[in-house]
Structure 1
Amino acid sequence: MPEVPTGAPEMSRKRIAEPGPLPQQVHERKKACWGILTSQGSWADRSPLHEAASQGRLLGLRTLLAQGYHTNIVTIDHVTPLHEACLSGHVACVRALINAGANVNAATIDGVTPLYNCCASGSVGCVELLLQNGAHTHTPHTHFPSALHEACKRGNSQCVESLLSHGADPDYEVSHLGTPLYMSCLHRHTACSKILLHSGANVNVGRGGDSPLHATVRQDSADQVSVLLDYGANVNIRDSNDQRPVELAPAGGKTQQLLLTFEGCPRSLYQLCRLQIRNLIGRSRLKLLPLLPLPTLLTDYLEHI
């Protein structure tokens, strides 16, 4: 069996795969992301298996595994070849590594999992593979990064849908990030916000005293403000500075006009009834709405379609 070098530092959370770069460009980009670690020779400590997984060289990866390279070989930062394949969105390599016994829940010293890397790269195919093979949707430590938060930050709505369909908690809070909904609002990803709210995410829980509506108003995103209001956002909620959302809206902007109009003409009975019924049904049972013996019109009304 060949002598297998032991690991090297890796900053998997901070590298995002981009389509089509040449190998030399990839190498230079990685070195630029590492900074001082490169000068310490850390690049040389990565195994050939890490390289094959990162570059999507399936035949080379299979050859290395056949030669005796361990599937779960790690760098000094505990980055595995599976982390690399997921970060670059190489579905075939991910499948080969899993079939060879890769740990789908391996975590780096920063708590980054392969699933997190999939959500960073936006590879829903890799996400599905990991979830089907036992990947956990959340880490046991609340200060570690969450795959769902990363998907919402990047605007990878298909990854968000996949995670939620496999039981991810739409209200899962990370102490320094808040809720996934807050993250999607902070980065103006309305599609992700709609998916979370449709799944029953709490529209008024953000980060500390800051609500999703506060975050959205600061971004002056009128479309997202409209979505939050439609799902019951509280316009009178105050942040840690005792300010209401309307007080944070840019003067004369669409967001301010929308909030002022809403305050002058509150929710209709139609909206209030839907919100109340959904609250009574409960988040965990919302997915069962299509199974109820109800007219399609009523089901669509309750599902917010």
Structure 2
Amino acid sequence: MTEAPSVAAEVSRKRGAEPGPLTAHATERKKACWGILTSQGSWADRSPLHEAASQGRLLALRTLLAQRTLAFPDHVAANVTPVTVSITQEAKGYHANIVTIDHVTPLHEACLSGHVACVRALIHAGANVNAATIDGVTPLYNCCASGSVGCMELLLQNGAHTHTPHTHFPSALHEACKRGNSQCVESLLSHGADPDYEVSHLGSPLYVSCLHQHTACSKILLHRGASVNVGRGGDSPLHAAVRQDSADQVSVLLDNGADVNLRDSNNQRPVDLAPPGGKTQQLLMLFEVSPRSLSQLCRLQIRNLLGRSRLKLLPLLPLPSLLTYYLEHT
């Protein structure tokens, strides 16, 4: 039996799934990936299919799915729901959409552990790529938590939604920005995700990226047309970057048109929040006495007039490559 990576083993199980007490470190790792889901119930109802998907045991997973097909022929399987199968003990195999009490599917598990082959097999067997747990966590969200671009691409190619229908549900794009998984951010945006998609308690993806100091994610979002001043409430991305004393983030935001005069809920400008004498404060103070260049102002205005949806068409315009690079700001 192939031994799963230790990280996958840590994040793919709930309390009580394994004998012996969990270390504080392992508990925190699970909470980081599953959020409040880890505190609800136990996974005593996890099926062997969940275990196989979590541990990347492809042969076992295929065998369990094949046995289920034999137990439920097509004309019978069409009338069997995932919930019915999850509580039925007569079946020899398992439905691809079998769920735990928290509505965790094997596909959730495979994505959280980054097992591309298992994800492919489950989708082929009819797994719902948009299945949501009781907390609204989707397989796509789990891909962003694990940083598995391969699993994510499979989901997106098979109809996974880049955003959930409810804005209070966990957002895959926000999770990718929080963890600094820039390739996941790029993939989501390439498949139509809105770079300004706001979650009420989190704000914009750019705000989350700045809050967690992931400059690479911020650059991708801005390149794709994210609004540089949209944050969380009155708090702008620049406010968040300054609070973290992230000079790189501040420089990127200023270069993309961030407004240094915006005030947060405490009526403070970004410069008021900068640590005294630090590089962030120096950047802001220098910026305030040095107006933006004409070149920068023109680029910002042209990109704004083009609109976010047309920015991806810039390379197709009959322009000199130097001008295209200037407008793309790469």
* TM-score (normalised: structure 2): 0.83
CA shift for structure 1 position 29: 6.9
Aligned to 2:79: none
Is 1:54 the equivalent of 2:79?
no
Q: Matches of residues 157-196 of structure 1 in structure 2 within 5 Å?
A: 157-196=182-221
**Deviation, structure 1 residue 98:** 0.2
Q: In the alignment, what sits opposite 2:238?
A: 213
Instruction: Tell me the equivalent position of 2:247.
Output: 222
The aligned amino acid for 2:316 is L
Q: What is the distance in 1 between the residues matched to 2:46 and 2:235?
A: 42
Alpha-carbon distance between aligned partners in 1 of 2:222 and 2:197, rounded to the nearest angstrom: 13
Counterpart pick for 2:5 among 8, 14, 20: 20
Gap runs ≥5 in structure 1: 1-18
Q: How does 1:112-151 map to 2 (within 5 A)?
A: 112-151=137-176
Decide whether aligned partners of structure 1 residues 134 and 28 sit closer, same or farther in structure 2, where only a CA change above 3 A counts. closer
Q: Indicate the residue corresponding to 2:18 in structure 1.
A: none
Structure-2 separation of matches of 1:147 and 1:75 = 22
SS at match of 1:183: helix
SS at match of 1:213: helix
1:240: how far off?
0.8
Cα separation, 2, equivalents of 1:39 and 1:281? 47
CA contact (8 A) 2:12 2:113 kept: no
Note if 1:78 corresponds to 2:63. Answer: no
Q: Deviations over 1:23-48 (max 9, x none)?
A: 9x64997434479x999983321100
Q: Per-residue deviation at 1:239?
A: 0.5
Aligned partners of 2:10 and 2:186: how far apart in 1? 30
> What's the counterpart of residue 14 of structure 1?
none
Q: Secondary structure at the match of 1:43?
A: coil
Change (3 A) 1:265 1:129: same
Segments of 5+ residues of structure 2 without an aligned counterpart are 16-21, 32-36, 69-93
Q: Are 1:241 and 2:241 matched, yes or no?
A: no
> What SS does the corresponding residue of 1:214 show, helix, strand or coil?
helix
In the TM superposition, residue 22 of structure 1 has moved relative to its aligned partner by 8.7
Q: Deviations over 1:229-286 (max 9, x none)?
A: 0000000000011100000000000000000000010211110000000000000100
Q: Distance in 1 between matches of 2:206 and 2:38?
A: 36
CA distance change for structure 1 residues 72 and 178 in 2, over 3 Å: closer, same or farther? same
Partner residue, 1:63: 63
Shift of 1:184: 0.3
How many residue pairs align between the two structures? 285
Amino acid at match of 2:5: G
Determine the C-alpha separation between the residues in 2 that align with 1:26 and 1:303.
41
Of residues 133, 143, 156 in structure 2, which corresponds to 1:108? 133
> Are the structure 2 counterparts of residues 265 and 90 from structure 1 closer, same or farther at C-alpha, using a change threshold of 3 Å?
same
1:90 to 101, 115, 128: 115
